[in-house]
Amino acid sequence: MAYYVFNIGLPAITEWWTQNLNRKVITAGYAGQPGDRGDVILNQLATGDWIIAYVNQHGYVGAGIVQGDETYRLHPQLPDGSLSDHRHERAVDWRYFIEDVGDAVSIHEADRQQPRQTKESIGSQALAERIIGKIQARSGDRKGKYGRLRWELVREAVFDFGRPVSVAEVRALIKMRDPQFNSKNIRPDLEKMSVNSDLRAHYQGVKKGRRSDSGHPADRLFKTSSGTKVRYEPYVPEVHGIWVLQYDSSGVGTVYETPQTLIARASALARKEVDEIEIAPIDGELDARKRILLQVAMRQGQSNFRSLMLAAYEEKCAVTRCSTIDVLEAAHIVPYRGVHTNRADNGLLLRSDIHTLFDLGRLWIDPDTMTVRLASSMRDTEYWKYEGTEILQPKAINDRPNPEHLTRHIHDLEAPK
């Protein structure tokens, strides 16, 4: 067993480090060709070696164990959504990590100079273990069950409730799912993800401003207060508005809402009214078909469901991979029958035109292969290029489309109208 410092390369930002963590890999760039330097340095690693991840201008952020030779991969093209140009990768079991590179263990704290190469050996086991110990201490036990990031579990709990919830409720749900979970930092995680929280600036590791409509993975919740009661709910831009996190030259952060246009206010009010409409249960197949047509006009009404699907699909259309949030809609597979049908496995995140084709039966998903199928009448259209392509699925298994729901959708399309 050996110890190595490995520079994660560019961009030297939290978002790129998070991609390494989520994919459980370490990557290398160079020419992106077989036999180049990236190939060599990753395949020189032995199974069981320790990797200590380093981020330029920040410091050490993670420590993990190298997995088997068979996990090495050279991507023929860049992985979908990758922030880096690295195409070489090898699996790493990240045991300890710091989420935000702004909180990294600096070279001064580690008592070791900045690495001069992508991969450098640490000859002293004592030094390596000391750096790993500092990373472990600073990580604050930020992993939950199955190695997922703590803030992801917190966000998921809020979305599962589907209503404004307290810190205690979130803590109870997570503890029920994972009794070993360290829940002491749940409130900071909630504040960090709440776009309108005055405290979020304090909890950000990297003091960099942004808007809540920029697609940042931490902009997912909205905070409300009534007296001493504080609640958190899924953030919906159309309802809650656009918020700005801004830092001045001294690093002091402020949060404020951008002015909302008349059209945006009217849209938010209309969606709120739609959410409050109570519709009778479905009585039969004909009623189900009518509801499908009704959904074409009302589909953005279930704001919490849309927020859930945006998070599950990482804000990308399952068919086209389009990432323009304004045109992405949450599609029910089995028609909406009340809040109990607003489940991730009964939904797809689709671009608005694809959603309409899905509802009208011009496009559907094969439940056996999870591939796109199109009606023969679509053969000479621009949509035919999607025929037979595999859909994008959520990383979380429980969020993926349920094959039984997809089968039911096809049955509904074939039912007499």
Q: Give the helix ranges, DSSP H, for 165-257.
A: 167-177, 186-193, 200-203, 237-240
pTM: 0.40
What's the mean pLDDT in 282-301? 46
pLDDT-derived band at 386 (thresholds 50, 70, 90) equals very high
Residues 342 and 240 in one domain: no
Residues 307 and 382 in one domain: yes
- Copy the structure tokens of residue 176: 């029920």
DSSP codes joined into one string, 288-354 = HHHHHHHHHHHGGG-HHHHHHHHHHTTT--TTT----GGGEEEEESSPP-SGGG--GGGEEEEEHHH
Same domain, 124 and 155: no
Range of the domain at 157: 145-257
Domain end among 139, 169, 191: 139
Please say which residue of 112, 139, 166 terminates a domain.
Answer: 139
Same domain, 17 and 104: yes
Is pLDDT larger for residue 215 or for residue 13?
A: 13
Domain CATH number, residue 99: 3.10.590
Are both 130 and 163 inside the same structural domain? Answer: no
- Tell me how crowded residue 257 is: count the other CB atoms within 10 A of its CB: 13
Say whether both 392 and 293 belong to one domain.
yes
Domain count, the chain: 3
Please report which confidence band the pLDDT of residue 228 belongs to, taking 50, 70 and 90 as the band edges: confident
| One domain for residues 283 and 410 | yes
**CA triplet 60, 61, 66: central angle to 5 degrees?**
95
Residue 374: CB atoms within 10 A of its CB come to 18
pLDDT digits (tens, 9 = 90+) for 331-381: 989 876 555 566 788 899 999 899 989 988 899 999 999 999 999 889 989
Residues 388-417 pLDDT 10s: 999 999 988 878 999 989 998 887 776 544
Q: What is the pLDDT of residue 177?
A: 75
- Cα 244 to chain center, whole Å? 20
Nearest-5° angle of CA 365, CA 366, CA 372? 50
> Which pLDDT score, from 0 to 100, does residue 237 have?
81
Domain co-membership, 169 together with 48: no
Distance CA 83, CA 106 (A): 24
Residue after which a domain boundary falls, among 117, 139, 161: 139
At residue 146, the pLDDT reads 38
**Pair 155, 111 in one domain:** no
pLDDT in tens, 100-143: 888 888 888 888 888 888 999 998 888 998 898 888 877 754 45
Same domain, 79 and 154: no
CA dihedral 319, 325, 326, 331 (to 10 degrees): 50
In a domain, 188, yes or no: yes
